[in-house]
Amino acid sequence: MKIINKISIISGVILSGILILICIASCGKNETFDPVAYFTYETDGMNVVFTDGSLDASTYSWDFGDGTNSSEQNPSHTYSTGGKYTVTLNVAGKGGHDSASKNVSLTIPGKITIDGDFSDWDQITALVACDKDSGTPSLEIFKIYADDNNIYFYLKMASGYTDGVLDMMLDTDFDSTTGNHSWMWDAGCGVDYLIEGEIFSDKDAAMYKYTGQDGSGDWSWEEVVAAGSNLINAADPVTSDGTTKFEFSIPKELIINLSSTGIGVGLNLMNSSWSSVGILPSPEGGYTTADYNFANESLTVNL
C-alpha cells in the first residue's frame, strides 16, 4: 500500500505540475495588453497622410482637429486651409483604450515662390513693355504679385544686363499727388521711395526716401534702408535664348508708408555704366508708374 501511496503522491505531483504548466501556457495566451496609441504623419501642401503605429489596438478613431473624423487605420486627410490643427488618434483593443495627440501645422502654399522656377508666374497678368525711345526694349515683361507678407516681382529682359543696376520708383502711399514726378516719368508718378542697387548680381539694394517737393522733378533722395537689410529676396537670374528672367520679393514691412490699397511701380534698367537701357512701363503717350491693386490683383498703367 505504501508503494501505491507513493505512486499516487508522485502521480499527483506530476499531474499538478502538468496542470500548472497548462495553466501558465493558457493564461499567457489569454493575457491582454493595454493598447498604446501612436502615429506619425507626412504633409504635402494641405494633404496629410497619417500612419498608425499603435500597439495592441484593433479599432481606430481619428479626430483631425478641423471637425472631421475617420475610422481608418491609416487615413489621409486634405485640409481646406492652413493653420495649426490638433490631431487625436483614439485606439481600442481587448485591453482597453488609449489616445495620442499631435499638432499639425499647415502653411498655405503661396502663389509665387522665389526659386528660379518661373512657371508659377504664368498665372499672373503681365505688363508688357514698350520702350518709346529705342523701340527695342531691354525690359520686355513685368509682373507683380502680393500676398499678406511680400510683394513679388518678375522681370523678363534682354540678356546682357545682369551686371547692371535697377531703379524701382515706388508710389508707396498709392497717391499720385505726393512724391516725385521725375524727369523720367512724365506725370502721375507720385514716387515716394526709390529702391536702387545691382540687384541681379548682389540680390541686394538700398531704399531712399524722396525729400524734394511733392510733384516736382527734383532728384533728391535720402537713404532710409541700407544695403544689407534683406530688402531683396531673389533667385539667380536665368538667361537663355537672348533673354534673362529674374524674380524677387520685398517684405511689405520694409516698404515704408505702404498703402493697404496698392503700390505704384516704375522701373529703370541701367547697364553696368549706369546708362539707362530700359524703362517700364512706357505706354504710348508717356511714361508713368504701373499701379498694382492688392485686392483685385490687377496691374494697370496710368495714362
Where do contacts with Ca ion occur on this chain (CB under 5 A)? 171, 173, 175, 178-179, 190, 192
Cβ closest to Ca ion, residue 263 vs residue 279:
263
Cβ closest to Ca ion, residue 115 vs residue 214:
214
Which residues have a Cβ under 8 Å from the Cβ of 74 and sit 6 or more positions away?
A: 49, 50, 51, 52
Alpha carbon distance 67, 95 (integer Å): 28
**Minimum separation from the CB atom of position 253 to Ca ion (A):** 19
Cβ closest to Ca ion, residue 92 vs residue 290:
290
**Minimum separation from the CB atom of position 165 to Ca ion (A):** 23
Neighbours of 146 (CB within 10 A): 22
Provide the edge-to-edge strand list for the sheet that holds 76-78. 39-44, 47-52, 76-78
Alpha carbon distance 31, 130 (integer Å): 82
HSE-up (13 A, CA, CB side) for residue 56: 12
What sign results for the dihedral spanned by CA atoms 105, 109, 112, 113? positive
**Minimum separation from the CB atom of position 149 to Ca ion (A):** 22
Cβ closest to Ca ion, residue 137 vs residue 266:
266
Cβ closest to Ca ion, residue 160 vs residue 286:
286
For residue 173, CA distances in Å to 116, 220, 255, 259 come to 30, 18, 10, 5
**Minimum separation from the CB atom of position 231 to Ca ion (A):** 19
Cβ closest to Ca ion, residue 128 vs residue 256:
256
**Minimum separation from the CB atom of position 264 to Ca ion (A):** 7
By residue count, the chain amounts to 303
**Minimum separation from the CB atom of position 191 to Ca ion (A):** 7
* Residue of minimal Cβ distance to Ca ion: 190
Alpha carbon distance 29, 275 (integer Å): 88
